[in-house]
Amino acid sequence: MYAPYSPKILFASGAIFMLANCEPRTPAAAGEARLAQPEAVPAADSAPLPAPRPLVAVREVPLTEGFSLRLKGGKQVDGFCVYEALQIRKDGRLLWTDTADEYEFNEPFYPLLLPNTARRYDLLVEVNRRPGMSHGRVFRIRDGKVAGREDVPVFVAPAGNQDQDPALEYAGYWSFFETWDEQQQPLTSYNPLVFYEQTSRGLQLDSALTRQVNQRIYGQYHGFRFRQDLPQPVSIVGRLDDEVARVKRRAGR
């Protein structure tokens, strides 16, 4: 029988990240465009929270470099705010519309706008996949157009120097852990910690660092994708916790 499992240091209470009125926070003025840190939940004996304001039809999220996001159809899902439509705009001009997926802004450093070279940007947002684990989506914006998109894990920390080169890296993993018993041995899936490097060509998979770290976790490298067909001893979850803690320390969290 499968049982969901999340490494202890990667678990975040929905109450902490919930935005009660589904209103995205304003990104930081300098550096990466991101949402402000969420406010702490008051203690039970403190003054009660005000009633949430009604959902509005449209929300605007201003970013840097003239970009903005327009979100439509806000709703609550399992205590989290998600939106049924996303528009990407540049200087007021519509670049992209997506109504096929639901988007959320509950993590403190999404959305991210990463400038690469002139007129080239990577925009990262979070796609809702509840009750499973959400994932990130990179929109490749080139010369004023969305030239492509790629799904990546939701990152566990802001960018940090995770190896010896000068570039900064992000890291994340694909899925919640599930455990099951096989011949009285608790097992889980191959769920690699994947690293992406911020380069002049955009956000790119750092295959060398991904291989190195997952060899430490799993004993050998089985690729950068989640694989349920490669059962692993549950003890690897503790090693993954250690690696994620290292990523967060190097990112200053």
* pLDDT for position 108: 78
Q: Give domain limits for the chain.
A: 1-39+56-146, 156-253
Cα dist from 202 to 54, 146, 157, whole Å: 38, 13, 18
Q: How confident is the model at residue 162 (pLDDT cuts 50, 70, 90)?
A: very high
* pLDDT for position 8: 42
The predicted model scores a pTM of 0.78
Q: How confident is the model at residue 148 (pLDDT cuts 50, 70, 90)?
A: very high
Range of weakest confidence among 15-19, 109-113, 204-208, 230-234: 15-19
Q: What ranges in 123-235 are assigned the alpha helix state H? A: 207-218
- Between 51 and 167, the higher pLDDT residue: 167
Q: What is the mean pLDDT of residues 194-210?
A: 95
Q: What is the mean pLDDT of residues 163-181?
A: 91
Q: Which long-range contacts does 215-221 make (Cβ < 8 Å, 24+ apart)?
A: 216/243, 217/192, 217/193, 217/243, 218/190, 218/192, 221/192
Q: What is the mean pLDDT of residues 181-187?
A: 88
Residues ≥6 apart with Cβ < 8 Å to 146: 88, 95, 96, 139, 140
Q: What is the mean pLDDT of residues 82-97?
A: 96
The average confidence (pLDDT) of the chain is 81
Q: What ranges in 159-205 are assigned the alpha helix state H? A: none
* Token pair 């919640």 in the structure block, residue: 176
Q: Which long-range contacts does 40-49 make (Cβ < 8 Å, 24+ apart)?
A: 40/16, 41/13, 41/15, 41/16, 49/20
* pLDDT for position 29: 35
Tokens of 166: 């000068």
